[in-house]
Structure 1
Amino acid sequence: MDQETFNIDRLSAEEIIGIVQSDDVTAEQLDLLAAHTLHRNRQLQQQVEALGKITSQIERRLKELKGR
């Protein structure tokens, strides 16, 4: 895993698993990988929450319009 050209966002899940299971991976690389995946998970959770709020607003508005 070349740190200068390493971009986790371009890796597939299979590639990430391969890195994690590699005999050549270092603790530093795994720390970076873990930090990035935790950060990305938080971002995705926030996006899901935002979409949930939007969905709720749409559903409420639809009920209002159908009730007219």
Structure 2
Amino acid sequence: MNFEKRGAKVKRRRFFDGFKAKVALEAIKEQKTANELAQEFAIHVNQINLWKKQLLEAASKVLSSIKD
């Protein structure tokens, strides 16, 4: 009988902020689809969409805090 190991710890990948920003900016440019970027950067599409959303929200907060 072949049993699978359950509860095995999988090491999570950590990404540097610069990498996240690079991927998010590429997604914002919309020159490539999220699927194409996911293949190019070897990450999940959902991760790209999350970083894109976070970057846009942060940019909005920064710009709204600037006094004219």
TM-score normalized by the length of structure 2: 0.46
Kindly indicate which of the two structures has a greater share of residues assigned to helix: 1
TM-score normalized by the length of structure 1: 0.46
- Higher Cα radius of gyration: 1
